[in-house]
């Protein structure tokens, strides 16, 4: 229960930060406990299709020897409406030096482009075939609000019911009441499990959510958890008090407290989470996130702090994510000058990079930190560069007026 709540609110804050920046790579840094020196640990490279939607996402990590190793990739397939019809996750077999299927999600849509079904399958390497794992089905009202969610799990070659959720909405299409039911495999019937009741302000901002659980033996609802939201003058969320019911006091007691701060331009600045200590009756540090932004207000970096160590007065786990908008910079430069540069294949697997230029000019190949790995001169027309010494990862190919990213597999 705790994990679900914490994950949801983090996604809520991060989700409002993206806008005009097309993130082409995410650099993940880790810190040794209590220290401030960051170490590049993982790289995520994102490739987009002509509709500016995700095409392929590659993941790389640094091994003990300091070399970049391919870890996984996600491949997206779209329909004519640019909706994802398949999401394929693969892992990299470093022994066989090849990609291997892991799992996939196959989506189905109705005529109004509503997602009606998600089929999750796992790859059976022995049989070289996809095997069913999980099925999610959705229905909608006339306003395209999801009114039901039905999940099934694949067991003994048949689909078995798992959850059935139903949601009603307000006149302004906000969730009003959410009912969760679980399938009883003994009686083969749906049993009510929980409900959420939503409350809103006159500005239609959510002010409270009550999560109750149904006691089947008593045939009555029992209090569970309660979320209380408060806002500032700009209607931005500033606190979220998560409380849980205690029979001993017959009331809700402290559980978690979220606090949010913002920059003057209303972009997120920091989120802190405190956990209530029932022994000392005081708030303890739980986690902290800080946000940085480009001049365009898009998210440029996120720092995560987890597991507070009271003895040392610092968080044990500290990671930093930097979001790089390389393609956005390239496209602007390309519009403002007459120079053209083409590099292929990209991603590169052969070790020989072809570079086409419409003029004589110098070229640099740099790693993600900006260190020059290769320096050469381009002739007008087609050029061949031997880059077999490059390890797997992402690089920047830079001429006097352009910068492009190169993925080496």
* CATH code of residue 348: 2.60.40.3080
pLDDT at 340: 60
Q: How far apart are the first and last CA of the chain?
A: 40
Is 121 part of any domain? yes
Is 332 part of any domain? no
Is 333 part of any domain? no
* Same-domain check for residues 106 and 196: yes
pLDDT at 143 > cutoff 50: yes
pLDDT at 1: 35
Burial of residue 37, with CB atoms counted within 10 A of its CB: 0-12 exposed, 13-18 middle, 19 or more buried: exposed
Tell me the β-bridge partners of 239: 230, 259
Is 242 part of any domain? yes
Q: What is the mean pLDDT of residues 344-365?
A: 84
326 contacts 312 by C-beta, under 8 angstroms: no
397's CB contacts (< 8 A; 6+ apart) are: 341, 343, 355, 363, 364, 365, 403, 404, 405, 406
Eight-state DSSP code of residue 83: -
pTM for this prediction: 0.78
**pLDDT band, very low/low/confident/very high, at 338 (cuts 50, 70, 90):** very low
Between 19-28, 156-165, 200-209, 305-314, the lowest mean confidence (pLDDT) is in 19-28
Q: How many domains does the chain have?
A: 2
pLDDT digits (tens, 9 = 90+) for 252-308: 999 999 999 999 999 999 999 999 999 999 999 999 999 999 888 899 999 999 999
* Same-domain check for residues 319 and 350: no
Instruction: Among 302, 324, 346, identify where a domain stops.
Output: 324
**Parent domain of 250:** 2-324
Answer with the residue of higher pLDDT: 51 or 182.
182
* Same-domain check for residues 307 and 348: no
Angstrom distance (rounded) from CA 243 to CA 113? 38
Angstrom distance (rounded) from CA 163 to CA 190? 8
Instruction: Among 299, 324, 349, identify where a domain stops.
Output: 324
* Same-domain check for residues 215 and 310: yes
Is 331 part of any domain? no
Instruction: Among 324, 346, 361, identify where a domain stops.
Output: 324
Burial of residue 255, with CB atoms counted within 10 A of its CB: 0-12 exposed, 13-18 middle, 19 or more buried: buried
* Same-domain check for residues 292 and 352: no
Is 153 part of any domain? yes
* Same-domain check for residues 319 and 345: no
* Same-domain check for residues 356 and 317: no
* The three-state (H, E, C) secondary structure of 15-70, written as one string: HCCCCCCCCCEEEEEEECCCCCCEEEEEEEEEEECCCCCEEEEEEEEECCCCCEEE
339: its two tokens: 């120079």
Q: What is the mean pLDDT of residues 189-203?
A: 97
Q: Could you tell me where the beta strands, DSSP code E, fall in 79-232?
A: 84-93, 98-109, 115-124, 129-140, 146-155, 158-169, 175-184, 189-200, 206-215, 220-231
Is 350 part of any domain? yes
Dihedral (CA of 331, 335, 337, 342) sign: positive
199's CB contacts (< 8 A; 6+ apart) are: 206, 207, 208, 209, 210
Angstrom distance (rounded) from CA 130 to CA 118? 15
* Same-domain check for residues 310 and 369: no
Burial of residue 379, with CB atoms counted within 10 A of its CB: 0-12 exposed, 13-18 middle, 19 or more buried: exposed
pLDDT at 247 > cutoff 70: yes
* Same-domain check for residues 269 and 366: no
* Same-domain check for residues 109 and 154: yes
Angstrom distance (rounded) from CA 191 to CA 180? 9
* Same-domain check for residues 309 and 395: no
Is 329 part of any domain? no
**pLDDT band, very low/low/confident/very high, at 382 (cuts 50, 70, 90):** confident
pLDDT at 359 > cutoff 50: yes
* Same-domain check for residues 167 and 66: yes
């Amino acid at each position: 229960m705790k994990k679900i709540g914490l994950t949801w609110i983090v996604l809520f804050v991060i989700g409002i930060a993206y806008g005009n920046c097309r993130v082409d790579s995410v650099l993940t840094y880790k810190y040794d406990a209590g220290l401030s020196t960051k170490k590049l640990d993982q790289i995520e490279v994102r490739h987009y299709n002509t509709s500016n939607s995700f095409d392929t996402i590659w993941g790389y990590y640094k091994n003990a020897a300091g070399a970049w190793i391919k870890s996984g990739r996600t491949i997206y397939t779209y329909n004519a409406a640019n909706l994802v019809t398949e999401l394929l996750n693969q892992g990299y077999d470093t022994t066989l030096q090849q990609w291997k299927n892991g799992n996939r999600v196959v989506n189905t849509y109705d005529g109004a482009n509503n997602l009606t079904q998600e089929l999750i399958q796992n790859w059976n390497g022995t049989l070289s075939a996809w095997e069913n794992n999980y099925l999610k089905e959705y229905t909608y009202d006339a306003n395209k609000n999801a009114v039901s969610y039905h999940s099934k799990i694949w067991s003994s070659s048949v689909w078995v019911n798992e959850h059935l959720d139903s949601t009603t909405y307000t006149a302004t299409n906000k969730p009003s009441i959410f009912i969760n039911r679980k399938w009883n495999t003994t009686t083969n019937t749906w049993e009510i499990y929980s409900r959420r009741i939503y409350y809103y302000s006159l500005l239609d901002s959510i002010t409270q959510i009550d999560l109750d659980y149904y006691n089947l033996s008593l045939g009555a609802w029992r209090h569970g958890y309660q979320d209380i939201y408060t806002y500032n003058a700009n209607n931005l969320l500033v606190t979220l008090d998560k409380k849980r019911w205690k029979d001993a006091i017959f009331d809700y007691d402290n559980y978690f407290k979220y606090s949010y701060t913002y920059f003057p331009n209303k972009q997120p600045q920091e989120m802190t989470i405190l956990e209530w200590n029932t022994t000392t009756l005081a708030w303890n540090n739980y986690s902290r996130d800080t946000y940085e932004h480009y001049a365009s207000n898009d998210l440029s970096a996120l720092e995560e702090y987890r597991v507070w160590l009271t003895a040392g007065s610092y968080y044990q786990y500290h990671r930093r994510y930097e979001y790089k908008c390389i393609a956005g910079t390239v496209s602007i430069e390309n519009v403002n000058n007459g120079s053209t540069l083409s590099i292929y294949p990209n991603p590169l697997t052969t070790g020989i990079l072809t570079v086409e230029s419409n003029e004589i000019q110098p070229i640099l190949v740099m790693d993600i930190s900006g260190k020059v790995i290769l320096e050469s001169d381009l002739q007008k027309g087609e050029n061949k560069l031997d880059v077999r010494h490059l390890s797997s990862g992402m690089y920047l190919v830079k001429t006097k007026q352009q910068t492009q990213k190169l993925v080496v597999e």
